[in-house]
Amino acid sequence: MRRGNRFAPLRRLIGDRKGAAAIEFAILALPLFIILFGIIEVSLMFFVNSALDASVHKISRMIRTGEVASSKITLAGFKAKICDDMLLSFDCSSGLVVKVNVLSDMSSAAHTDPIDDSGNLTVTETYDIGNGSDYILVQAFMPWTAVVSFFNLSSAKLSDGRYLLGSSALFRNEPF
């Protein structure tokens, strides 16, 4: 037996290109799907946060124009209007936290961190729509459960792993 024939099966195996595309796909599939699901997660979170922001601004206008005062809309009714106005609200009705405060002037508006060091939501709901010509700060916070939970999109997370979406509107009531 010749020495060259002993390695012939190995040469045929190395030269065989059948299944190369499947192996290449298997190597690239994981990074591809991670990127794809990451894009979907960020897009969905951005869409819901944009819907929350638009809804808060739209419904806050009802405070500004005096419609909330004349209709005697409660905090629960105000939250329901925000959630109803959102296209994809998911768990809005049970998770939405709203804080409506009267300010002495625009310069007294201050940023408050809604999450403490332990990852707990520290916002206490208030609902003071004020009177005509008062400065009003409306803040809304909604915990967001990630669709794909193996991403760490932000360090600002609640202790249960959910993200916190938020929106605010600052305005002066019209005289009513």
Q: Could you state, in order of their start, the residue ranges of all structural domains in the chain?
A: 3-172
Nearest-angstrom CA–CA distance, 176 and 170: 18
| Predicted confidence (pLDDT) at residue 158 exceeds the cutoff of 80 | yes
The secondary structure of residue 132, as a DSSP letter, is T
User: What pLDDT is recorded for position 20?
Assistant: 80
CA 94 from centre of chain: 15
- Assess contact for 165 and 83: CB atoms under 8 A: no
Nearest-angstrom CA–CA distance, 49 and 167: 8
Q: Average pLDDT for residues 97-125, to the nearest whole number?
A: 88
User: How many C-beta atoms surround the C-beta of residue 103 within 10 A?
Assistant: 16
User: What pLDDT is recorded for position 65?
Assistant: 94
The secondary structure of residue 115, as a DSSP letter, is B
Q: Quick one: pLDDT band at residue 153, thresholds 50, 70, 90?
A: low
User: What pLDDT is recorded for position 161?
Assistant: 83
User: What pLDDT is recorded for position 137?
Assistant: 95
- Assess contact for 93 and 79: CB atoms under 8 A: yes
User: What pLDDT is recorded for position 155?
Assistant: 59
Q: Which two tokens mark 121? A: 């939501």
Q: Quick one: pLDDT band at residue 149, thresholds 50, 70, 90?
A: low
Taking only the tens place, the pLDDT of each residue in 39-57 is 888 888 899 999 999 999 9
Q: Which two tokens mark 175? A: 């005289």
For strand 163-172 and strand 135-144, is the pairing parallel, antiparallel, or unpaired? antiparallel
Q: Quick one: pLDDT band at residue 66, thresholds 50, 70, 90?
A: very high
- pTM score, whole prediction: 0.80
Q: Quick one: pLDDT band at residue 154, thresholds 50, 70, 90?
A: low
The secondary structure of residue 119, as a DSSP letter, is S
Nearest-angstrom CA–CA distance, 54 and 82: 9
- Coil, strand or helix: which one is 122? coil
